Amino acid sequence: MISKKMLETGSRKSIIRVIFDFGKERAALIGAENVYDFSLGNPSVPAPEIVHQCIRTMMEEESSTDIHGYTHLQGDINVRSKIADDINREHKTALTGANIYMTTGATASLRICFSAIANPGDEFIVIAPFFTEYRIGIEQAGGKMVIIPARTKDFQIDFEALEAAINPATKALVINSPNNPSGVVYTRETIDQLTALLRRKQEELQQPIYLVSDEPYREILFTDEKLPYLLNEYDNSMVCYSYSKSLSIPGERIGYIAFSPKLTDYTDLFTAACGSARYLGYVNAPSMFQKVAAICNGSVANIDIYRQNRDRLYEALISYGYECVKPEGAFYLFPKAMEEDASAFCAKGRELNLLMLPGDDFGCKGHVRIAYCVDPMVIERSLPAFKKLAELYKKGQDL
């Protein structure tokens, strides 16, 4: 008998798949230009030229075994040292290459951290709305996911609910700012309040509470305010970083974990991370893209396009009567659906060829995610449909 659990997981058709299939069918029928697909968080801007340039140079100047060979499980030490030096320069940290673990992107970074710290039944707190894959990663690690409901007025953190949720079973808190799906960036005040609360709770409970910060959108930021670097804010923190979005290379699978040198039981924890990666079947992150990451670290794709898209779409939606917290990062809008059932709202949108995702899977009912990492023309063409959808709700009409 095959694994029931894996069969069930593999058979569960995600809403993204349903919408993706719908989009393909509609495009074949009415032309791709008439389908407004805002369902996927796939970067729409090209990778910066430096990415291709360094691949070309590598191919010309380095030996095949150097480019394509295995590296250490944790990654090439030169790559890890270069990244640590860059982080130190930017954030005034004191990391060495030994504190960096190269991974196949943020998904793997999170999985490695979760499995490294979880014992059966340990609780992992996530703040809604949250990235859908947290659930499967926490479950797989043997942990239990505890959800703090969304503070929908601004998508910062409901601290009363968070404090009430922390108990002796709490192992870690997972945060994500800039956030998928809300696009919201945690303010300095939120980070200060959060880290003060965690320190106080650690003291009270006499146990470490780890902070796992999921940061694939770190550079996709539309405010001049600098994002606090969590390793400087809270000793028990790990930053899960990915180049998928900053360099527009999600298919290449490259990222890293930065472990705070001040983590409780640091040596054991890092050793457990190595064990966790082995257990999960990660050998080493792609060696060629480890080198690309080292050279291109700090470079960012042209995020001005995302900012233009955000401004155009946000302002248009507000003028049509949608309610939405203005996002300051990532490439998502998370407006309120115009009826309680966000899936029904998305289904009505699909009748106008607007493809959006209901917030339910992100732990926040009644909202929809619009991924605006698309060609600006898609936004222009979609606006009459967004307007019509709002008008139909205002008039209380069926489509």
Of residues 167 through 186, those in contact with ligand PLP by CB under 6 A are 176, 180
Select the span of 100-108, 111-119, 304-312, 363-371 touching ligand PLP (CB under 6 A).
100-108
Residue 257 C-beta: closest distance to ligand PLP, Å: 12
Which two three-digit tokens encode residue 265? 């039981």
**Quick one: three-class SS letters along 163-206?**
HHHCCCCEEEEEECCCCCCCCCCCCHHHHHHHHHHHHHHHHHHC
Binder of ligand PLP out of 43, 75, 105, 335 (CB under 6 A): 105
If one asks whether residue 107 binds ligand PLP (CB under 6 A), the answer comes out as yes
- Residue pair 228/268 in contact (Cβ under 8 Å)? The answer is no
Nearer to ligand PLP, 202 or 244 (CB): 244
Instruction: Say how far apart CA 95 and CA 74 lie, in whole Å.
Output: 15
Longest dimension (CA), the chain: 67
Residue 75 C-beta: closest distance to ligand PLP, Å: 15
Instruction: Say how far apart CA 309 and CA 326 lie, in whole Å.
Output: 13
Residue 304 C-beta: closest distance to ligand PLP, Å: 20
Nearer to ligand PLP, 177 or 202 (CB): 177
Residue 371 C-beta: closest distance to ligand PLP, Å: 9
Select the span of 74-82, 86-94, 99-107, 365-373 touching ligand PLP (CB under 6 A).
99-107
If one asks whether residue 356 binds ligand PLP (CB under 6 A), the answer comes out as no
If one asks whether residue 131 binds ligand PLP (CB under 6 A), the answer comes out as yes
Of residues 235 through 254, those in contact with ligand PLP by CB under 6 A are 242, 244, 250
If one asks whether residue 129 binds ligand PLP (CB under 6 A), the answer comes out as no
Residue 20 C-beta: closest distance to ligand PLP, Å: 15
Q: Which long-range contacts (CB under 8 A, 24 or more apart) does 316-325 make?
A: 316/383, 316/386, 316/387, 317/386, 320/386, 320/387, 320/390, 320/391, 321/390, 321/394, 322/386, 322/390, 325/152, 325/153, 325/154, 325/155, 325/182, 325/184
Binding mask 23-42 for ligand PLP (x = CB under 6 A): ------------------x-
Select the span of 8-16, 19-27, 104-112, 197-205 touching ligand PLP (CB under 6 A).
104-112
Which two three-digit tokens encode residue 213? 């910060």
- Residue pair 228/237 in contact (Cβ under 8 Å)? The answer is no
Q: Is the dihedral of CA 194, 196, 201, 206 positive or negative?
A: positive
If one asks whether residue 216 binds ligand PLP (CB under 6 A), the answer comes out as yes
Residue 205 C-beta: closest distance to ligand PLP, Å: 28
How many helices (DSSP H) and strands (DSSP E) are in the chain? 15, 12
If one asks whether residue 301 binds ligand PLP (CB under 6 A), the answer comes out as no
Nearer to ligand PLP, 244 or 248 (CB): 244
- Using DSSP's 3-state secondary structure scheme, residue 300 falls into coil
Residue 317 C-beta: closest distance to ligand PLP, Å: 21
Tell me the sheet residues that pair with 148: 127
Instruction: Say how far apart CA 277 and CA 74 lie, in whole Å.
Output: 9
Rounded (5°) CA angle 41-305-130: 30
Residue 200 C-beta: closest distance to ligand PLP, Å: 27
Nearer to ligand PLP, 254 or 324 (CB): 254
Residues with Cβ within 8 Å of 271's Cβ and at least 6 positions away in sequence, in order, are: none
Nearer to ligand PLP, 217 or 314 (CB): 217
Site size toward ligand PLP, by CB under 6 A: 13
Of the candidates 314, 328, 323, the one whose C-alpha atom is nearest the C-alpha of residue 394 is: 323
Residues that bind ligand PLP in the complex, under the rule CB under 6 A: 41, 105-107, 131, 176, 180, 214, 216, 242, 244, 250, 255
